[in-house]
Structure 1
Amino acid sequence: MTNESDIVGALLKSNEAWATSVVAKDPDFFKKSAEGQAPKVLWLGCSDSRVPESVLLAAMPGEILVHRNMGNQFRDEDGSSQGIIDYAANHARVDHIFVVGHTRCGACRACIEGAPPGPIANFFVQLIELAQAPHITELPKPEAIERLVRDNLTAQLMNVVNSKPVKNAWSDGRQLQVHGLLYHLETGRLEHTGMTFGPNHK
């Protein structure tokens, strides 16, 4: 069994190899990166380890502003989520916000099966409510999970669209767009769900 020191050592070795490969392609990359960032995209996604945005988008440091949590939840009472949206929309001035769900979501499964009481259940208040909808509960579990994944994505997308920071950006004339994307674990592909909102949605 790999012990803790082996894990840390392996990670540091991987980091060293990655940094060396970046410098080999662009000797000044990290020097330029350290001077500041100007990302065009904010990625709001799930903290699932199988959905690493920079990897699946083949993106380099500085290209994507990121906020992830369990089940890609974004509510008015969540100061962390609202703070990053405000920073991205009105300070970093990104052009696009991606709200991203994914298939076989563990958060959706947990809420269908009954999230354990405590911090997790408290965090999933809206997701639990969505999971209790009749059109979800009448489905077999595998289908219910995937339906909830899409319902949750729609709900969180609308939470972002209706958030004060996004509305402020549109009121200020920003051409900010908010998109709903779904990542398929089975194929590694992103699906644009067809949900996109811009400044005309106020």
Structure 2
Amino acid sequence: MVQIPEDEHNLDCVLAANREWAAEVAAENPEFFHELAMGQHPKILWIGCSDSRVPPSKICNLDPGSLFVHRNIANVCPHTDTNLLSVVQYAVDSLKVEHIIVAGHYGCGGVNAAMDPHQHNGAIDDWLMHVRDVYHAHKKRLDVLPVEYRGRLLVELNVVKSSFNLAYMSVVQSAWARGQKLAIHGWIYRLEDGILEDLGLMIDGPDKIDEEYRMVAAEH
């Protein structure tokens, strides 16, 4: 495992580690990089937090090419984020992913910041307003909990909210309407032991969302 050097301008060890990794992979499977260069065919779109402690392929023990990934602070899925919308559309329409995983993690700094009205973090405060909306919607339930458990529950509720926001998107509903296999899942990563938890949330069709959010009729 390579450690970033204290001298931030000396990244030669990172480049050297990359070459070592590439050589090891090529020795184990000489065709790996050739096949990878031919195109990507992931079955999973992973939407997670930008936190450096939660690298998707690493914690899932998957090879490059297995996950199509989008990350932002606190794994938020707002309908106004054109970056997110573009990623979802490409993943669903072009790559034909079959699963979208929204992965939060306990101890999320963005979620913790959203619970503290006295913090001032510049532009990030505007972004975290999405998480504060979730906090506000569940305030009575959250405020009776100790701070530690309050943060853990808000992480879970934020994953649920992001998952349903994805299900409300027209690109997702259009895929369902044409009979495309697509399911949205909510997961949580535990930093303390490296384990992923399935929240038991799966949205795999318009029947799993309220009627007022169903924008696309099934194709006949």
Q: CA deviation at 1:197?
A: 1.1
What is residue 210 of structure 2 aligned with on the other side?
Answer: none
Closer, same or farther in 2 for the Cα pair 1:157/1:31, shift >3 Å? same
**1:50 counterpart (49, 53, 62):** 53
SS in 1 for 2:100: strand
**1:78: which partner in 2?**
81
Q: What amino acid is the match of 2:102?
A: V
1:79-131 Cα offsets, whole Å, 9 max, x none, are 11111111111111001110111111111111112342531011112201222
Comparing 95-104 with 132-141, which one deviates more in the overlay?
A: 132-141
How far, CA to CA, are the matches of 2:140 and 2:178 in structure 1? Answer: 41
Question: Structure 1, unaligned stretches of length 5 or more?
Answer: none
1:13 aligns with 2:16: yes
Q: Distance in 2 between matches of 1:164 and 1:119?
A: 28
Q: In the alignment, what sits opposite 1:184?
A: 190
Residues 47 and 103, structure 2, Cα contact 8 Å, conserved in 1: yes
Does the 8 A contact of 1:131 with 1:137 survive in 2?
A: no
1:187 Cα deviation after fit: 1.3
The 1-side partners of 2:89 and 2:6 are apart by 42
CA contact (8 A) 1:108 1:131 kept: no
1:10-159 matches, within 5 Å, as 10-114=13-117, 115-116=119-120, 118-132=122-136, 133-159=139-165
2:166 to 142, 147, 160: 160
Aligned partners of 2:114 and 2:129 also within 8 Å: no
Q: What is the aligned length?
A: 201
Structure 1 residue 46 displacement after superposition:
0.5
Contact 1:65 1:88 in 2 (8 A): yes
Identity across matched positions, percent: 33
SS at match of 1:16: helix
SS in structure 2 of the partner of residue 99 of structure 1? strand
Range moving further from structure 2, 167-176 or 108-117 = 108-117
The amino acid that maps onto 1:71 is A
How far 1:199 moved relative to its partner?
Answer: 2.5
Alignment check: 8 A CA contact 1:174 1:199 kept: no
Q: State the one-letter code of the partner of 1:87.
A: Y
- Return the letter of the residue paired with 2:58: V
SS in 1 for 2:9: helix
Contact 1:177/1:196 (CA < 8 Å) preserved in 2?
Answer: yes
* 5+ long unaligned stretches in structure 2: 208-213, 215-220
